Amino acid sequence: MGQTYLQRYLAGEHEQVWNELIAHGDLIRQEPLYSDAQAVAQETMSRAKHNIALLVERLHVLEYRFAFPEEIWNPPDPASLAALESREQRYGVLPISLHMWFVVVGSVNFMGAHPKLSEYTDFWLEEYDQVYPGHYADPLVVSPFIDELILPVQPGFEEKQDKTSLFDFWLAPDSVHKANYSGGGPTTIRFPCLAADAWLRSDDWDETTFISYLRTCFQWGGFPGLRRNPLPQPEDLAFLTKELQPL
């Protein structure tokens, strides 16, 4: 008897397992695949939760100035879990990956300013400009799953639209808005989605899955825009990424 997807994931086949789960498409909701996929998603998001906890602690050590202190990390609680179930019943199910993120992790907002990591115009002090070249660090954001961020699919995108997907969840602002400038449209996930994971839709992350987005965010200490910086990476990045768990 072959190994389960969870056993393979725990053995280190992280990307291969998620690629295979995604390849099953809607069939992933059938047993025994569904329970196995849920177990993989729970393990993945437990690792993500571990990483978020470390990053929040380390960013405070670095005196990172969060733009929205009340939104840095809001873990799930009974009220948010009940609301998640209610909204999925009303609008349709989220992909397994994102559903499990809200069950295990909650919502996160790393928007803010630091002289070597991230720009945010309200906090951009003159001395920052002498140290930091200024670019869009695209800090990690996964917005809460609330009615205000769920919008009907707009006409004009039929060529890429899954006919069963009726809504866009606004997962995060684009990288320019995250620096508090006027930018483009948000990063969204289209749902209902029966698959294990879903493709993001945005200028920054188009054709990237949610799990891949998280991997890249953690690889860059919560600031994936740094991967586009031609200058040497800040020493703080090594501090942020030390001992983060792979997804």
Q: What is the pLDDT of residue 117?
A: 87
Task: Note whether 103 and 81 are within 8 A (CB).
Answer: yes
Structural tokens at position 36: 């196995």
SS (H, E, C) 74-89: ECCCHHHHHHHHHHHH
Residue 159's pLDDT band (cuts 50, 70, 90): very low
Average pLDDT over residues 32-41: 97
**Does residue 161 carry a pLDDT above 50?**
no
Give tens-digit pLDDT for 75-93. Answer: 999 999 999 999 999 999 9
3-state secondary structure of 200: strand
Give tens-digit pLDDT for 94-110. Answer: 999 999 999 999 999 99
Which residues lie below 8 Å from residue 232, measured CB to CB, with a gap of 6+? none
Nearest to 177 by CA among 215, 208, 137, 146: 137
| Average pLDDT of every residue of the chain | 90
Amino acid at 233: Q
Average pLDDT over residues 141-159: 83
Q: What is the pLDDT of residue 155?
A: 64
Structural tokens at position 176: 């320019």
